[in-house]
Structure formats: structure tokens, C-alpha cells
Amino acid sequence: MIQVGEQAALGDATDEYLALVRAFPLVHIRDDAQYQAALAVMWPLVESSVRSDAQEAYLGALTDLIEIYDGQPSVGAGAIEWAAAPPKQSRSLLSRLFPRDK
């Protein structure tokens, strides 16, 4: 659930954020089926050239959950194509897309 501070940060985007959460809840990924479903939700957002504030917030939380399930250390910078990457390599790919020290 969005906390009070997050609601203020999202402003009018709160409804859009909640719609995304209803479509695919942001809960811990427990198995490979949920992991694959999370990746299927993530890819269209990642590939979108323009994302709303709600989509950015949702994608950030979703990628955190994917990284936790992955449990693999980031391999650092390098050219790995999305289509060729094994599913559990998404953490290193995501860390390149969304560096934590922006």
C-alpha cells in the first residue's frame, strides 16, 4: 500500500500506480512461475520510451522484488543483450538500467 509520503510524491498518479499493483501485486516472488510472470510485466515497462511517474515507481519496486528473488550479485558493466540473457541474469541487467546512485 502506498504510504502518505508516497501518495504525495505520486500526486495524481496514485490511481495509475494502484491499478498497476492490482494487475500484478508487489509481493515477494516465491517461485519460478511468479518470477516469469514478474519479468513478463517488467519488460513492457522497461522497453517503453516514456514512463509516467506511477510506472517509474511501480517498476522500481518490481525490479527490487526481482533482484531479491534473483539473489545474484551484479556483474557490473558489460554488454548483455536482453533477449540472450538467461532469466536469472536480470539483476545485473536491471542494475545497469536503474543504477542506484543516480
Please write the tens of the pLDDT for every residue from 44-89.
Answer: 998 988 999 999 999 999 998 998 888 744 333 333 344 445 555 5
Let me know if residue 75 belongs to a domain. yes
Let me know if residue 52 belongs to a domain. yes
DSSP single-letter state for residue 12: G
Let me know if residue 76 belongs to a domain. yes
Q: What contacts 101, CB < 8 A, 6 or more positions away?
A: none
C-alpha to C-alpha distance for 43 and 55, rounded to whole angstroms: 12
Let me know if residue 69 belongs to a domain. yes
Let me know if residue 68 belongs to a domain. yes
Report which of 69, 64, 66, 60 is spatially closest to residue 39, judged by C-alpha positions.
66
CA 55 to chain centroid, in Å, comes to 9
C-alpha to C-alpha distance for 78 and 6, rounded to whole angstroms: 33
**Domain count across the chain:** 1
User: Taking 60 as the threshold, does the pLDDT of residue 10 lie above it?
Assistant: yes
pLDDT of residue 67: 87
What does the angle CA 74 – CA 96 – CA 12 come to, to the nearest 5 degrees? 120
Question: 69 is in which domain, residue-wise?
Answer: 4-97
Let me know if residue 19 belongs to a domain. yes
Its pTM stands at 0.63
Length of the chain: 102
Let me know if residue 40 belongs to a domain. yes
C-alpha to C-alpha distance for 22 and 50, rounded to whole angstroms: 21
pLDDT of residue 101: 59
Let me know if residue 102 belongs to a domain. no
